[in-house]
């Protein structure tokens, strides 16, 4: 789920009120609050709605959830940002302009320039840069990147990569990087639009895997971000196809073989991915197997909406009809914008689907053609 960016001049009292509102909505057993807590409070990760509602929630819990919902690790960190912001907190600036350390910032500039010789010299003068990380808060990801992670241009900072970015990346890898940095960089590359547009996504995937990055760790993220070319490359490098990946790729035969032994988490994510890619028969199989069409998507899987929200936003009438017949609630509101599936369809210009969702003809027989 996207985090909620702070306004340019945040007010701590307003944030405190948000925490108190969350407490009230928790007491009212609001389903969107359960989803928010599941995603943004570590104590409730993976918990069912009833377990979240039955749990005692203190003000400090609500404040932690609000802080994480805005991209900060703790309420203390959020409070510091409001009361004493630094250049690193300037969300209006690209990440490379928010780096306080001049030597680290210079190394990132050399990466962006594709200056292999200059970067090699900078690393020779400052070998500690290869172990250093910078801290960014207020966003969904890229919170604590190493130098290597800047080669992915994800998040987008300049909108382009140098033609020799593979050579730049090789230099950094040969200098020695932590495995965690290689894995995170692989995920950023595999989910990045700029590496794909620049024609270097697959070469970078190959290189990072050659240096030990685990392709399986990036595969589901690539599927969720619509990067199927990257997903196929990761599969070629040894990623095993599980139920969610089979659902994303529309491989119905493999999906049907995997479904009986899949665990509940895999089934939940598979439903989200099958809806995302419009694979009606796979969605039907998951509903037949007992998946709940009114459940919000899983954390990390466009979790701000239900399957019906996402089908409606995509304008997929066949899926919308299937989900409605199977009991999907048309009045459920999403977590971020508090909008119904019909409002999602209207926002995306899907007028026919919006009219279907606002009409009364929901009990049509399922079309299996």
In order of 71, 76, 141, 274, the CA distances from 136 in angstroms are: 9, 15, 9, 33
pLDDT band for position 3 (cuts 50, 70, 90): confident
Rounded-to-integer distance, Cα 269 and Cα 297, Å:
7
Q: What is the pLDDT of residue 364?
A: 57
Rounded-to-integer distance, Cα 28 and Cα 8, Å:
31
Give per-residue pLDDT as tens, 72-129: 999 999 999 999 998 888 888 999 999 999 999 999 999 999 999 999 999 999 999 9
Q: What is the pLDDT of residue 139?
A: 84
Give per-residue pLDDT as tens, 257-282: 999 999 999 999 999 999 999 999 99
Q: What is the pLDDT of residue 365?
A: 46
- Cite the residue boundaries of each domain of the chain with CATH code 1.25.40.20: 95-240, 244-358
Residue 2 vs residue 59, higher pLDDT? 59
Region 310-318 average pLDDT: 98
326 neighbors 293 (Cβ within 8 angstroms): yes
Rounded-to-integer distance, Cα 353 and Cα 349, Å:
9
Listed residue (312, 302, 367, 317) closest to 342, CA to CA: 312
Region 24-50 average pLDDT: 95
pLDDT band for position 1 (cuts 50, 70, 90): confident
138 neighbors 81 (Cβ within 8 angstroms): yes
Q: What is the pLDDT of residue 89?
A: 87
**Is a pLDDT exceeding 80 seen at residue 306?**
yes
Give per-residue pLDDT as tens, 207-251: 999 999 999 999 999 999 999 999 999 999 999 999 999 999 999
75 neighbors 60 (Cβ within 8 angstroms): yes
Rounded-to-integer distance, Cα 207 and Cα 183, Å:
12
Strand, coil or helix: 133:
strand
Residue 274: CB atoms within 10 A of its CB come to 28
pLDDT band for position 369 (cuts 50, 70, 90): very low
Q: 244-358: which CATH topology?
A: 1.25.40
Rounded-to-integer distance, Cα 297 and Cα 307, Å:
7
Rounded-to-integer distance, Cα 304 and Cα 15, Å:
20
Listed residue (71, 75, 69) closest to 16, CA to CA: 75
Question: What class does CATH assign to 95-240?
Answer: mainly alpha
- The torsion angle over the Cα atoms of residues 87, 89, 92 and 93, rounded to 10 degrees, is 50
Rounded-to-integer distance, Cα 206 and Cα 236, Å:
10
Give per-residue pLDDT as tens, 164-222: 999 999 999 999 999 999 999 999 999 999 999 999 999 999 999 999 999 999 999 99
């Amino acid at each position: 789920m996207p985090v909620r960016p702070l306004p340019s001049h945040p007010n701590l009292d307003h944030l405190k009120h948000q925490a108190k509102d969350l407490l009230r909505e928790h007491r009212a057993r609001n389903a969107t609050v359960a989803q928010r807590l599941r995603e943004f409070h570590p104590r409730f990760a993976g918990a069912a709605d009833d377990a979240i509602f039955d749990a005692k929630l203190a003000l400090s819990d609500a404040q932690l959830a609000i802080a994480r919902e805005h991209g900060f690790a703790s309420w203390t960190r959020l409070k510091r940002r409001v009361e004493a912001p630094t250049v690193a907190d300037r969300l209006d600036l690209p990440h490379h302009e928010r780096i306080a350390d001049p030597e680290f910032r210079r190394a990132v500039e050399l990466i962006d320039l594709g200056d292999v010789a200059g970067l090699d010299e900078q690393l020779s003068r400052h070998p500690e840069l290869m172990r250093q990380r910078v801290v960014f808060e207020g966003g969904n990801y890229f919170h604590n990147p190493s130098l290597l992670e800047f080669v992915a241009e994800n998040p987008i900072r300049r909108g382009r990569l140098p033609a020799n970015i593979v050579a730049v990346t090789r230099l950094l890898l040969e200098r020695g990087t932590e495995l965690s940095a290689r894995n995170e960089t692989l995920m950023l590359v595999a989910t990045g639009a700029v590496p794909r547009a620049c024609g270097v996504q697959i070469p970078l995937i190959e290189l990072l895997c050659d240096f030990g990055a685990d392709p399986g760790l990036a595969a589901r993220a690539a599927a969720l971000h619509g990067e199927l070319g990257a997903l196929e490359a990761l599969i070629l490098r040894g990623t095993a196809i599980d139920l969610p990946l089979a659902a994303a790729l529309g491989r119905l035969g493999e999906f049907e073989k995997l479904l009986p032994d899949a665990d509940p988490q895999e089934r939940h994510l598979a439903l989200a991915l099958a809806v995302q890619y419009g694979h009606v028969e796979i969605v039907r199989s998951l509903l037949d197997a007992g998946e709940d069409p009114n459940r919000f998507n899983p954390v990390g899987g466009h979790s701000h909406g239900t399957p019906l929200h996402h089908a409606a936003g995509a304008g997929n009438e066949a899926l919308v009809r299937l989900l409605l017949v199977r009991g999907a609630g048309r009045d459920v509101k999403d977590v971020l914008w508090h909008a119904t599936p019909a409002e999602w369809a209207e926002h995306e210009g899907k007028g026919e689907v919006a009219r279907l969702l606002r009409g009364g003809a929901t009990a049509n027989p399922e079309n299996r053609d």
